[in-house]
Chain A
Amino acid sequence: MPELVARRWIFFFLVLASTAAAVTRMLGVLQFDGLSAREIVILVLFAILFAWIAASFWLTVFGAVARFTRADVLPLKKPSGISAARTAILMPVYNEDISRVFSGVRAIREQAGPDFDFYILSDSTNPASWVAEELEWQKLTASLGASNVFYRHRARNEGRKAGNIQDFCENWGQLYDYMVILDADSLMTGKALSELVGLMDANPRTALIQAPPQLVGRTSLFARIQQFASSVYGPIHAAGLAWLQGPDGNYWGHNAIIRVRAFMQHCGLPRLPGSPPFGGEIMSHDFVEAALLRRAGWEIWMAPDIGGSFEEPPPTVADHLLRDRRWCQGNLQHLRVAFARGLALPSRLHLALGIMSYAASPLWLLLLVVSAIEMLNFEPAPAFRYIGLEPALAYMLSHAAELGTLVLATLVLLYGPKLLALAVVLEDEKATRAHGGLGALLISVALESLFSTLLAPVVMLQHSWYVLTIVLGMASGWGSQARDDRALPLPYVIRGFLAHTFVGIAATVVLWKTGAFGWYVPLLAGLWLAIPLVYFTSSPLLGRAARNEGFFLTPPETRGLKVLDRAHALAAAHQGLATDARQLVFEDASVRALHLSLLKGAPAPADRMRLWALREQWARKDTSRFSREDWALLLSDPESIEALAAP
């Protein structure tokens, strides 16, 4: 693929050339009186971070070029004929909102038709969720009349999501040619699924095709801004990535089709030596699985034009940052994998970019702190000095022009991608209308840019804290994430973001006396306003108001999206259980029969002593102190269920 190689060389040349130009100018500013140790640190950090944002900028430039020239970013053989392949659609679940999971599965199943088998792979550790999932599954299969929507629960979520998928592969993988991995909040259209299967059929060297998901479906102001950004900026970013990576693509963990045979041969993940956060189970498994497939010679592609691939964004800044805590730990763990033997260079780059997406924050923070210290220690030259007995005027040097150029270049790198993406949308009249029309689109882009500018320092501080705690060995869990729209309570926001505000005020006090305070205002403003920014953007009310005013609109909203509308309608009509689902197993014979039938084949719990103790407690009607684990243990043991069931 000589064209692909040429594109990559041009890309690296552009990134290096723009970085070299900026670093040379910065060197000119710093070295007028020699280079101190602090200035060397500033220069090195500046070089790394400028290259980082330059890479992102040139990636979107490539995306824009691909879009304007109508380049084929997925040069695979096109599907031909009807597929005879067997495909399983997997929905791994971990203590998720039941209505969302089953509404999504049903909406996708109705579109995809009976040719796809569905597996709801539950790792739920909450016993109430577990039993409720069983009941929902029974309701779903009965109402669809479907015999190929399956449900499986694991008593222990070994290996987390990767272990869940591996368990599917080891038990049923041989029955299928392909598997499509979904997340609990994923949606895919039937057309997209069929097209992915066709592409896999036509391209036998391809092991994985990632369909980049568009963010949809939430109503809070923050989520709407994210959805708008994903709709406007996402496509050219994905196009640029696909155009540059070719068959050396990456896997994002969901909304992707995978060749089961290749996955089973090469993607059994090892445990990393040592303890978490850097050792143990590989948390961000997707990048590693992609790297292992590439190492084995399989191709991995991204299909940015396939459409019909969706997921929901976190509803609030706080939820977004909580998710980032897990991703940060997972990505930093890749430090130990990026140098593993035999990986392809592009795979190493994917891993490195994932690490850098979090490591960049503490580097930015360090650069700002060292620059501030440098400015505080800056001693302007005296107005005149003596050469012998003769007074001589000092030669005043101004670096305003160089610094101005550097700031301008940085602004172009940061905001240029947004403008390019806007230009791509504006070129298409239908797309412009689907985003609310020219005026609303321009105002929305301006507001989104303002919001992301204010949020950037908050994210920088938070990510820096994450990186620090992880490096210090403080591991986080991998819990389920909040996916519901809800206005955050003000005390919760204050508790979470008071520290950011204090840092902003403290930095203001320190920087006030330097002559460069004005340069820092855009950064400090985000910290001053952290609490109101997080609080107000969590509001679904403000989100709906923005929608009514025509701001942050996306095509799925303005044109309608069948699969999403159906999933929302089903979720809205969903009626939860009025009673405790756990108790139902013991009180309702039909629920018990279902639960016991689904337990068949599962190993009985080994802790018989604990089970006996729990049964004794139950006999004394002392169940109020049962923990989640106690309930799960009882519900895993058919003998105890039969013994404790109401007559």
Chain B
Amino acid sequence: MDSDSRAFEVPAEAGFSPGAPMPCRRSMPVATLTAWTPAAVLGTVVSALLAVPRALVLAPAVIRRRA
């Protein structure tokens, strides 16, 4: 009986504070968050300016060539 009840005793480790449960450590991965830089925004604007005319003007040409 004694041995049964001992099986459920909380393991006591001298190195841990009684203020909180025994730690069960697992690290949190750092999220990837590409922070904005002025160069990045400039690049986005320029690429958007280039992409929109390309989509509007070149796309029909591509389609025609395929046809």
Residues of A with Cβ closer than 8 Å to B? 119, 134, 137, 150-153, 166, 169-175, 264-270, 272-273, 279, 288, 292, 335-341, 597-602
CA distance A84 to B23 in the complex (A): 22
By a CB distance below 8 angstroms, the chain B residues around A602 are 17
Partner of B21, one of A150, A292, A336, A598: A150
Contact between A336 and B18 (Cβ–Cβ < 8 Å)?
no
Contact between A336 and B36 (Cβ–Cβ < 8 Å)?
yes
Which residue, B15, B28, B41, has most C-beta atoms of chain A within 10 A? B28
Q: Does B29 make an interface contact (CB < 8 A)?
A: yes
Q: Does B8 make an interface contact (CB < 8 A)?
A: no
By a CB distance below 8 angstroms, the chain A residues around B44 are 339
From 16 to 67 in chain B, residues with beta carbon under 8 angstroms from any chain A beta carbon are 16-21, 23-37, 40-41, 44
CA distance A436 to B28 in the complex (A): 50
Q: Does B14 make an interface contact (CB < 8 A)?
A: yes
Contact between B28 and A267 (Cβ–Cβ < 8 Å)?
yes
Contact between B34 and A340 (Cβ–Cβ < 8 Å)?
yes
Given A170-B25, A338-B36, A339-B41, are A600 and B14 also a contact pair (CB < 8 Å)?
yes
CA distance A327 to B36 in the complex (A): 20
Min C-beta distance of B12 to chain A, whole Å = 11
CA distance A54 to B47 in the complex (A): 32
Contact between A269 and B36 (Cβ–Cβ < 8 Å)?
no
**Lowest 10 CB-CB distances: which A-B pairs, in order?**
A268-B28, A171-B23, A151-B19, A150-B20, A339-B36, A336-B35, A268-B30, A336-B36, A600-B17, A601-B16
By a CB distance below 8 angstroms, the chain B residues around A119 are 20
By a CB distance below 8 angstroms, the chain A residues around B18 are 597-598, 600
In the complex, the chain B residue whose C-beta lies closest to that of A266 is: B31
By a CB distance below 8 angstroms, the chain B residues around A340 are 33-36
Contact between B33 and A270 (Cβ–Cβ < 8 Å)?
yes
By a CB distance below 8 angstroms, the chain B residues around A269 are 30-31, 33
Contact between A174 and B26 (Cβ–Cβ < 8 Å)?
yes
Contact between A288 and B33 (Cβ–Cβ < 8 Å)?
yes
Partner of A169, one of B15, B28, B33: B28
CA distance A270 to B29 in the complex (A): 9
Provide a sorted-by-A list of 15 A–B residue pairs whose CB atoms are within 8 angstroms. Answer: A150-B20, A152-B19, A152-B20, A169-B28, A170-B28, A175-B24, A266-B31, A269-B30, A269-B33, A270-B32, A340-B33, A597-B17, A600-B14, A600-B18, A601-B23
Residues of B with Cβ closer than 8 Å to A? 14-21, 23-37, 40-41, 44
CA distance A644 to B47 in the complex (A): 67
By a CB distance below 8 angstroms, the chain A residues around B32 are 270
By a CB distance below 8 angstroms, the chain B residues around A134 are 19
Contact between A172 and B28 (Cβ–Cβ < 8 Å)?
no
CA distance A279 to B36 in the complex (A): 11
In the complex, the chain B residue whose C-beta lies closest to that of A271 is: B30
Contact between B28 and A152 (Cβ–Cβ < 8 Å)?
no
By a CB distance below 8 angstroms, the chain B residues around A338 are 36
Partner of A601, one of B17, B26, B33: B17
By a CB distance below 8 angstroms, the chain A residues around B33 are 269-270, 272, 288, 292, 337, 340
Partner of A171, one of B25, B31, B34, B40: B25
Partner of B29, one of A173, A265, A599: A265
In the complex, the chain A residue whose C-beta lies closest to that of B29 is: A268
Given A170-B27, A267-B28, are A175 and B21 also a contact pair (CB < 8 Å)?
yes
By a CB distance below 8 angstroms, the chain B residues around A270 are 30-33
By a CB distance below 8 angstroms, the chain B residues around A272 are 33, 35
CA distance A172 to B19 in the complex (A): 13
By a CB distance below 8 angstroms, the chain A residues around B41 are 339
Min C-beta distance of A556 to chain B, whole Å = 33
Given contacts A152-B17, A335-B36, 15 further A-B contacts (CB under 8 A): A166-B28, A170-B27, A170-B28, A171-B25, A172-B20, A172-B23, A265-B28, A265-B29, A266-B31, A268-B28, A268-B30, A339-B40, A598-B19, A600-B14, A600-B18
Partner of B16, one of A151, A174, A288, A600: A600
By a CB distance below 8 angstroms, the chain A residues around B17 are 152, 597-602
CA distance A272 to B31 in the complex (A): 11
Which residue, B21, B24, B26, has most C-beta atoms of chain A within 10 A? B21
Contact between B24 and A174 (Cβ–Cβ < 8 Å)?
yes
By a CB distance below 8 angstroms, the chain A residues around B20 are 119, 150-152, 171-172
CA distance A153 to B17 in the complex (A): 10
In the complex, the chain B residue whose C-beta lies closest to that of A117 is: B21
CA distance A129 to B14 in the complex (A): 26
By a CB distance below 8 angstroms, the chain A residues around B34 are 340-341
CA distance A266 to B31 in the complex (A): 6
By a CB distance below 8 angstroms, the chain A residues around B16 are 600-601
CA distance A602 to B16 in the complex (A): 8
Contact between A173 and B31 (Cβ–Cβ < 8 Å)?
no
Min C-beta distance of A122 to chain B, whole Å = 10
By a CB distance below 8 angstroms, the chain B residues around A170 are 25-28
CA distance A134 to B21 in the complex (A): 16
Min C-beta distance of A40 to chain B, whole Å = 21
Contact between B31 and A268 (Cβ–Cβ < 8 Å)?
yes
Given A270-B31, A337-B35, are A601 and B15 also a contact pair (CB < 8 Å)?
yes
In the complex, the chain A residue whose C-beta lies closest to that of B26 is: A174
In the complex, the chain B residue whose C-beta lies closest to that of A343 is: B33
